[in-house]
Chain A
Amino acid sequence: MKATHPRRPWGALALAAGLSGAALLVAPPLGADETCMSPYMAKIVGQEDFVYVWTLGQEGVGDEQDKLVTIDVNPNSSEYGKVVQTLSVGGRNEAHHSGFTDDRRYLWAAGLDTNKIFIFDVHTDPARPKLHKVITDFVARSGGVVGPHTTYALAGRMIITGLSNNRDHGGRTALVEYTNDGQYIATHWMPTDDNLRGARKAGKHADGYGYDLRVLPRRNLMVTSSFTGWSNYMMDFGKMLQDEAAMKRFGNTVVVWDLHSRKPKKVLDVPGAPLELRCAWGANHNYCFTSTALTSKIWLIYEDESGEWHAKAVADIGDPSKVPLPVDISITSDDKHLWVDTFMDGKTRLFDISDPFKPRQVYEKQIGKQINMASQSWNGKRIYYTSSLLANWDKKGDEDEQYFKAYDWDGTALQQKFAIDFTAAKLGRPHQMRFGAYSLYGMKPPRADSHTVAQTD
């Protein structure tokens, strides 16, 4: 195995420009789960060695607690397709999302219920993450923010979206910043009607809700979406659907922020719980996508020629009247396609987004009885799926399939490479996936026959 040096098809061009590979870890403003990462972060553009699966503990299954599950996904490894480590962290914290620091040395994995943030060291031995630190006082330090969700790398620090608050367990919440070594920095409350914090309310809503966050540094843009508060995301899904008082408490907004000043600029109406945000990578592609969970639409968040940001519903996902419940989305690194998973029917759907204003579905496949996250490699050739949405939203009885599945995508069809039954393996409910590679840390895998090529640009 050769170490981290990338293969560069336009190497001649780079040399002519007088460039060298000297700043391999300098993050460019482009680059997709690997296609969904912060642009500030080192990326794996070759074969990933591991997928870290942040997994919810499940009562009656194994040790019943949340854990980080490391799966070997390098086809050249003798451990390919196997769980190589599980790291239990104590309690059911409603494990949900995770994200690396910008240097990719640590993985921050948050619990939506207990508000703990587990910081794993993934660089000392990428095959065996270690629990480095637990932030236990997130709510107290942040001034009452509950439900740490997205842990997103900015330069030298982490920004964390909240979903709720400690006063009413509703959806009003804030963004919270921490240093890379886990020190609290600041809380930025989402704009509400009585305190828009300088933002303009473009439509009817300024609910103050939060969910996901992405940035486009070249446009000084930060964008956030909105879900629901603790009472709803922790509640039995069937109970909630029949509780009209609860169903009124979903987010209907996307907020556009000044990234540098962390000030909200504009509150856009996007009704029906806009969840994951994915921004395009192309140097002139000033837009991001989100999907609304309850109204089943793809929305485009875009900048017009005068620099104004807008939100527009651009496609239906499946038959919205059947509540397919779009959950995760994943954009390809060429900005041409968007994978959309729909929880209720267990399908992954591929949309052609070459014209971002006219996405059209070009492929679909049922992955399981339920589905949540999708993570693809930088080149789009490998895509991984997990099943769990939220502990009390997952299907009940026989339909509560819990799995990790690895697929290859050849441009026309998905082919399953392997699957791990998380119930049979007594692991729990698998949720967010992040990729690891030895090459990120200048390390060679402990074997001779592999050819990991990762680039950290």
Chain B
Amino acid sequence: MLLAAAWPAGVFAAPAEPLAPGHTALGYDPPAPGSYALPPLGDAGDGQVLDASGDSLRLHGLLGSEVVVLSFIYSTCSDTNGCPLATAVLYKLRSTIEAQPALAGKVRFVSLSFDPVQDTPEVIRLYGMNFTGSEQSTEWTFLTTASQEQLEPILEAYGQPIQPEFDDTGKLTGRIAHILRVFLIDRERRIRNIYSVSFLHADLVLNDILTLQLERRAQQEATSTITRAGTRLSRAGDDRTGYERHDYQSRSRSVEARTGVAADLMANLEAPLPGLPAVAVPGDNPASPAKVALGRKLFYDRRLSLNNTFSCAMCHVPEQGFTSNELETAVGIEGRSVRRNTPTLYNVAFAERLFHDGRETTLEQQVWAPLLARNEMGNPSIGSVIEKLKAMPDYAGLFEAAFAGKGPSMETVGGAIASYERTLVSGNSPFDRWYYGGKADALRDDARRGFTIFTKKGGCSGCHTVGASSAVFTDHGLHNTGVGYWVSMGASGRKHRVLVAPGEYLEVDAATIASVGERQPNDLGLYEITQAPADRWKYRTPTLRNVALTAPYMHNGSLASLRDVVDFYNQGGVPNELLDPRIRPLHLSESEVADLVAFLESLTGDNVDVLVSDAFAAPVGDLTEADPDWAHQSRSGQ
């Protein structure tokens, strides 16, 4: 083996020439046969070759009936860690195979010369005689080619570039520089492993051959070892609750196991769920199974963004309450900053105004704002989205079927996505079963006490309204709680507490943070829509249904937990001249705060896992080679 050669002598001692691992005992226990998979690496190449008798044949003629170990050699090769290594390993491997009756006759060795000039069939025959004998059941076939022209395509197929070697005077030495590669080929003529010098060892190759034998069983075992996640789907797959403490332990769940079952979403529109009013479906966009299914497909399709990375669901993550538990304020295409926290889509069917500043009125219209926002999905125009949808083969006919013959358009895209979003209704919570259903034991005592605080001492229901027969927990109005005022007008600190590892905080200078952060854009709430000074820092009253699933809270995600939110209101928000008069210090005791939190936690609907499971069953749209992309048109480069 050659070592790095450019060191001046004496910088450090030249290590002794190491032998490749294949020449010695393996320095570790190889993984047991069948305990792992050998995924196919593509089809083994073919080509015209000559055997030791000079007969011409196709290389594929020797592949297929047995497992084949294929090496490339040349007879005059003398590098201990080159062709002789390959041959020595195969020699050793064969004696091991001979000792295993189960493998008798099931393996073939093939060695092909990459020197057609020196290695004539006669040379190859003589060379092969060193290694072949009649008593062996494992056949070892030595091959060469008639010419460099016949050899080239085979070398190309197996990725074996070779270079003639030159000496110091620039003359050919007759030796051939190459990467040592040995190939394991299965009965379907597929390459299943490639061995290089640091990796070629008889014990490893043997176990790989045995693994191919055991393949079917191994695959079955592998499947059975995937343990399914628990039944509670409605939390982040990478739940980091408690990370601010040193004793935090991860509870990460497999992405692979995130699978679900489609639900009958139309049923959610047909009859009101306990505690909820009926869903009002607009007359100009009636729902249908085809429309909801199309909307669902669009909702999870990342191709609906300029660079194919962003679907609606990348921010409205189903298992994270159809919002994001992982971000205070959203991040859009190319990582661009979004000012506000992603609102939940649970029960969005009942919203009379959309966005935190209430600027939009219908879901059908709202859909287009994120699609076109430069810092959300980044599409340059309505037309570009429509044209892209028309060109994606997996949408062929779907719009026409859902919209009585109409293809993709501003109207149908909005109509489809809105129809899916409208089905995300969630009710029949413990509170509903107690308050509206009359089931006395449906609600815990602390939550019942909390409800009394909610409607009386806390005054929360002044905005988060509760009706006689149903509740959406919002007055659909916009109010100043002081959260927005504080961000715009409050003094900013010189230090910021940054969480750098579980339970580990550092005090970081504001100047340090400013050096790597863009200036935070201002946010004036409803004022931005009305221009009325009295509307400064007013934001929409959100529904409280499923509020336990939708942390962090407030329009900017600045409060991490429901406890933080109750504390915020208990202290009377942030005083400012436009503070909503209903917000005042509440003087709630510690136990009253806990009761109020317990009430808020009782507002989680009984169908959330059904909706999340349905979302998991939806296909995630990602770019395929059948989709429009510049790289698919001009593949061969520039």
Contacts and interface: CB of A to CB of B under 8 A. Distances in A.
Interface in A219-240: 219-220, 229-231, 233-239
B369 interface: no
A118 to B, nearest CB: 9
B353 interface: no
Contacts, number: 450
Contact of B253 (A173, A192, A395): A192
A237 B516 contact: yes
A139 B515 CA distance: 34
B498 A241 contact: yes
Interface stretch (B61-69, B173-181, B453-461): B173-181
A200 interface: no
B257 A194 contact: yes
A375 B493 CA distance: 39
Interface stretch (B48-56, B284-292, B355-363, B627-635): B627-635
B87 to A, nearest CB: 13
Interface in B588-630: 620, 622-625, 629-630
B170 A396 contact: no
A29 B81 CA distance: 12
A167 interface: yes
A156 B1 contact: no
A235 B39 CA distance: 36
B17 A19 contact: yes
Interface in A1-57: 2-10, 13-14, 17-31, 39-40, 42-43, 45-46
Interface string B101-143: 0000000000000000000000000000000000000000000
Nearest to B17: A17
A132 B40 CA distance: 23
Contacts of A14: 2, 17
Contacts of B382: none
Interface string B66-79: 00000000000111
A197 B253 contact: no
Contact of A28 (B3, B317, B326): B3
Interface in B227-262: 227-230, 236-238, 240, 243-244, 247-258
A208 B8 CA distance: 44
B207 to A, nearest CB: 8
Contacts of A294: 500-501
Interface stretch (A74-82, A175-183, A355-363, A427-435): A175-183
Contacts of B77: 22-23
Contact of A204 (B237, B248, B329): B248
B327 A243 contact: yes
Contacts of A242: 496, 498, 513, 517
Contacts of A249: 238, 240, 326
A168 B236 contact: yes
Interface stretch (B161-169, B268-276, B468-476, B575-583): B161-169
Given A14-B17, A18-B80, A442-B163, A195 B254 contact: yes
Given A231-B327, A237-B517, A396-B515, A323 B198 contact: no
A46 B169 CA distance: 18
B226 interface: yes
B635 A134 contact: yes
B452 interface: no
B18 A28 contact: yes
Contacts of B489: none
B81 A26 contact: yes
B508 interface: yes
Contacts of B1: 19, 26, 28, 457
28 contacts: A5-B166, A7-B5, A10-B14, A26-B82, A27-B198, A46-B5, A102-B196, A133-B635, A134-B631, A136-B623, A157-B194, A168-B236, A179-B42, A193-B251, A194-B229, A208-B252, A208-B255, A231-B327, A236-B517, A243-B327, A247-B500, A263-B35, A271-B504, A295-B500, A307-B28, A396-B514, A399-B515, A455-B4
Which are the 10 A-B pairs with shortest beta-carbon distances? A238-B517, A234-B335, A261-B36, A156-B194, A23-B82, A131-B637, A22-B175, A261-B31, A155-B196, A23-B79
Given A144-B620, A172-B252, 15 more contacts: A4-B165, A22-B77, A27-B198, A40-B198, A46-B6, A103-B159, A114-B309, A140-B622, A194-B228, A207-B238, A233-B335, A238-B515, A244-B244, A247-B500, A295-B500
Interface of B: 1-9, 11-12, 14-18, 20-21, 27-28, 30-31, 35-37, 39-42, 77-83, 159, 161, 163-170, 173, 175-181, 183, 194-199, 204, 225-230, 236-238, 240, 243-244, 247-258, 302, 307-309, 314, 317, 319-320, 324-329, 331, 334-335, 337, 496, 498-502, 504, 506-508, 512-518, 520, 551-552, 557, 560, 620, 622-625, 629-632, 635, 637-638
